[in-house]
Amino acid sequence: MNVKLIATTAMGLESIAAQEVRDLGYKVEVENGKVIFEGDSSAIARSNLWLRVADRVKLVVGEFKAYTFDELFEKTKDLPWEKYIDENGQFPVSGKSHKSKLFSVRDCQAIVKKSIAERLKLKHGVAGNMPEKGSLYKVEVAILKDTVTLTLDTSGAGLHKRGYRVGQGDAPLKETLAAALVKLTNWRPEEPFIDPFCGSGTIPIEAALIGQNIAPGFNREFDSENWQFMTDKIWENAFNEAEELANYDQELNIIGSDIDHKMIEISKANALEAGLADLIEFKQMQVSDLSINKNNGYIVGNPPYGQRISQDDEVSELYSELGNVMLNHPSWSVYILTSFKQFESSYGKKATKKRKLFNGFIETDYYQYFGKKQ
């Protein structure tokens, strides 16, 4: 079965997600917050397993214009829902509407729900109400400028939920954003990698997964694993591919450090859960004590910037300490994500490049300093 899929992303990460989809062998279209591609049913399994920076993967059941509730009902009913949703399937409907005549999301959800039920009863030969006691097929009706897009959520829990986070701090970084921070560098697995503000260890763990080419979804489950048309063979092949492509023999030199010993313990627990405990070294230390004894490495960090430390002078001092340490290591590249607008002044150097990203709803900049290789 051929399917059309949408990988949703945080703003600013579309190009990275698009390249990940291309790496899986699919042609893409990129729009704000999403990457659109087509493939056979195996694309559902492979994209859920491999996409590191996407939020979730949605299957497009249909798209059409609708200006009235009658149009919404009839055009929804015309779609082949029985190809995807089995006789016992649960199909809750969520929705959103923007700049459209059909602006009542609650009414749109109810109409889509009723329309799908009518179609499924007819096609599956069900008398009375649909039982809805089986697998979960989460439907979304999204209306933008009177164009209706109806999708099924293939992922279930968001793709940032890799399954290894057993603990976290007050301001955890999403795994998808952490992976993006690593992928936006030129780091290679054989080079040293340090996160001096590691918190619960998300950036070092994502770096290790990338370094050994381990599929980020390898240790979790997806809603579409229970769908009838997504056979066991499809998933078995996808997981076998991920296992074969993993490079468990790749040696890594990854260090995560933090001033808080509790966060170091949480980092170690998360790395252990991810199966990476032997690959990442976690240390309790302050930035000024950072010890660097190799050339051509990478610093990648998401330091405190108002969420964990509220005083600007403390934040500024922290960044200044990092800048002073890195003065003696010109071959190292430094990548820092922060919303602190005076970062360059505190660090003591203007960034080679700067990229705007969103950490949740917080607008941040990703400051990039390219080292001179030795």
Here the CATH number for the domain that contains residue 282 is 3.40.50.150
Residues 119 and 198 occupy one common structural domain? no
| Of the listed ranges 135-144, 146-155, 310-319, the one predicted with least confidence | 310-319
Residue 165, in any domain of the structure: no
**Region of 37 on the Ramachandran plot (φ > 0 left; ψ -120 to 50 alpha; else beta):** beta
pLDDT of residue 274: 96
Residues 6+ apart with CB under 8 A from 135: 86, 88, 89, 90, 223, 226, 227, 228
What share of the chain in percent tops pLDDT 70? 99
Residue 159, in any domain of the structure: no
Task: Give the three-class secondary structure for 230.
Answer: coil
Angle, CA 373 vertex, CA 371 and CA 374 arms, to 5°: 135
pLDDT of residue 355: 97
Residue 22, in any domain of the structure: yes
**Phi, then psi, of 76 in degrees rounded to 5:** -65, -40
Residue 322, in any domain of the structure: yes
pLDDT: which is higher, 195 or 360: 195
Residues 243 and 292 occupy one common structural domain? yes
Judged against a pLDDT cut of 50, whether residue 265 lies above it is answered with: yes
Structurally, the chain folds into a number of domains equal to 2
Residues 146 and 227 occupy one common structural domain? no
Residues 123 and 202 occupy one common structural domain? no
Residues 118 and 58 occupy one common structural domain? yes
Cα 128 to Cα 93, 103, 216, 373, distances in angstroms:
20, 30, 42, 71
Residues 91-124: pLDDT tens digits?
A: 999 999 999 999 999 999 999 999 999 999 999 9
Residues 299 and 362 occupy one common structural domain? yes
Residues 187-214: pLDDT tens digits?
A: 999 999 999 999 999 999 999 999 999 9
pLDDT of residue 168: 86
Residues 124 and 206 occupy one common structural domain? no
| 152 vs 119: CA distance, rounded Å | 16
Residue 167, in any domain of the structure: no
Domain encompassing residue 269: 175-215+222-369
Residues 105 and 187 occupy one common structural domain? no
Residues 334 and 256 occupy one common structural domain? yes
Q: Which helix (H) or strand (E) holds 211?
A: helix 202-211
Residues 6+ apart with CB under 8 A from 138: 91, 92, 94, 152, 153, 156, 223
Judged against a pLDDT cut of 80, whether residue 310 lies above it is answered with: no
Residues 242-257, mean pLDDT to the nearest whole number: 98
Residue 304's pLDDT band, with cuts at 50, 70 and 90, is confident
Residue 167's pLDDT band, with cuts at 50, 70 and 90, is confident
* Mean of pLDDT over the chain: 96
**What CATH number does residue 90 fall under?**
3.30.2130.30
Residue 65, in any domain of the structure: yes
Residue 170, in any domain of the structure: no
pLDDT: which is higher, 254 or 307: 254
Residue 308's pLDDT band, with cuts at 50, 70 and 90, is very low
Q: Which helix (H) or strand (E) holds 338?
A: strand 333-338
Q: Count Cβ neighbours within 10 Å for each residue of 158-180 and write b for 16 or more, e otherwise.
A: ebbebebbebbbebbbbbbbbbb
Judged against a pLDDT cut of 70, whether residue 365 lies above it is answered with: yes
Residues 208 and 106 occupy one common structural domain? no
Taking the model in full, what pTM does it have?
A: 0.95
Residues 260-279, mean pLDDT to the nearest whole number: 96
